[in-house]
Structure 1
């Protein structure tokens, strides 16, 4: 017989395939003739983090301990939070989803409050590789109308934003990149709270 115990409060969660917790998010899964016993926690929350014990009722009892860490994916913008460019410069923003259990269903880009994924006629091009958890926004010929706040919003991660200034005339003190070379910002979002988490133990 295999039992799952939450160690922080010594709460008995399951015995065999029976659940002893009033929280119906917990469930023991065991296939007949299998040596795998899985504790499934649906809709994981921050309070679920901690140490879990899988206890086998042998003589003497045998236990395996597993630490569950609950992480929240969110955007991480590398580099300065503001970017300064000359008109005519190229701009590239790279957004990568990190610490997520699955690829996002979509990644939307916003310029101020406007979604711009399909604004090709405004000089904006967005390419997204969902399986790679990445999306890239490029502007080959930046103009003053492209100034403003840019946000990367994946479906399963906290969004991130950065502000882009397209300056008219020279401003050496504020300008970070001049000429017509390509400049870029990298946005690295990292899943909303994990939607589901399962712990599997194989008995020897």
Structure 2
């Protein structure tokens, strides 16, 4: 009996030692950790997101081993709590927390982004102390232009080329040319980035080309993108003499409105008789009135000759 008890105690001690050894040599449980951002420019724990005003911004936050912790989103400029887990803590319903499929991704969606929404947003894990990931939101306005202008004149049989360019729209901008609602055949769009103040600005160009323009190509064409309002270009395909007449008309000075020189001349002509009469009247009151008076050197040359009903100015004789 004593021997059996000793063996039992030995077995218990071995089991306890084995369990304690495994517990002491086992790896510690990992805590929450952020997925390193892939679109940061400063090599720090921050992410950059650029969107166009009026679209939807999606701010990323990927957390591994979240376990029983929760995710909150705060606005950086005033540390305003926007969301916690799946709840929204602001009256602005544009802010929506998203956790697709219950995975490690915790997104903050901002619908109908405004320029005032730009700034820092904080993805925060409820550890002690809290872990924070910074997301920089940049909001810009997309601009669409047509080149060479919104009115294009070409000669029959010549090459027609109109280019639509959209700046500030994240790629792909999905540009298209239409005429009366019908899609037009175009070459592939050309996309690139140009340097901006804070970050590169995406640019997309799409050309409307007709190698041998015909009269039937005349009309209004519309360029559209996912970021901008439609912009129009009106094409005029003219015969040679019509185009030459149009160019001559555009090159000729317009006579519909008086030029500044003409207006100034008219004012001087209207003012000169009154000035000369006042000068003559003043001199007559001093007893020095003389017909055909020539003013002394340095006085107004427009009164070289004052006769009844006419004034002689530097531009000739004018009836008054």
Tell which deviates more after alignment, 46-55 or 162-171. Answer: 162-171
Quote the Cα distance in structure 2 between the aligned partners of 1:128 and 1:143.
19
Distance 2:181 2:130 in 1: 59
1:117 equivalent in alignment to 2:117? no
Give the direction of change, closer, same or farther, for the CA distance of 1:171–1:51 in structure 2 (3 Å limit).
same
Once the 2 structures are TM-superposed, how far is the Cα of residue 4 of structure 1 from its aligned partner?
Answer: 0.7
Partner SS, residue 24 of structure 1: coil
Paired residue for 1:89, among 158, 172, 184? 158
2:115 equivalent in structure 1: 46
In structure 1, the partner of 2:212 is 141
Distance 1:147 1:14, change over 3 A: same
Q: Per the alignment, do residues 172 and 59 of structure 1 end up closer, same or farther by CA in structure 2, a change over 3 Å counting?
A: farther
Q: Distance in 2 between matches of 1:32 and 1:143?
A: 56
| CA deviations over 1:7-49 (Å, ceiling 9, x no partner) | 2343210122221112222222235773322112233333333
How far apart are the structure 1 equivalents of 2:101 and 2:226? 37
Q: State whether structure 2 residue 64 is matched by structure 1 residue 5.
A: no
Q: Distance in 2 between matches of 1:159 and 1:153?
A: 5
Is the CA contact (8 Å cut-off) linking 1:73 and 1:100 kept in structure 2?
A: no
Higher mean alpha-carbon deviation, 165-174 vs 135-144, is at: 165-174
Give CA-to-partner distance per residue, 1:99-132, whole Å, 9 cap, x none: 146665x84524xxxx1637xxxxxx534879x9
Higher relative contact order (CA 8 A, sep 6+): 1
Cα offset, 1:55, TM superposition:
2.0
Distance in 2 (alpha carbons) for counterparts of 1:33 and 1:109: 43
Q: 1:126 aligns with which of 177, 185, 197?
A: 185
CA RMSD of aligned residues (A): 3.9
Deviations 1:43-96 (A, max 9, x none): 333333322111223333232221222334342224455444222112133446
Q: From the superposition, tell whether residues 101 and 48 of structure 1 become closer, same or farther in structure 2 (CA, over 3 Å).
A: farther
Greater share of residues in strand? 1
State the SS of the aligned residue for 1:22: coil
1:153 maps to 2:224: yes
Cα 1:163–1:31, aligned 2, differ >3 Å: closer, same or farther? closer
**Which structure has more helix as a fraction of its residues?**
2
Q: Are residues 65 and 165 of structure 1, via their aligned partners in 2, closer, same or farther at CA, if it must alter by over 3 Å?
A: same
Structure 1 residue ranges without an equivalent (≥5)? 119-124, 176-204
Determine which structure has more spread, i.e. the larger CA radius of gyration: 2
**How many residues were matched structurally?**
163
Query: Contact 1:93 / 1:136 at 8 angstroms: preserved in 2?
Result: yes
Whole-Å separation in 2 of the counterparts to 1:84 and 1:31: 53
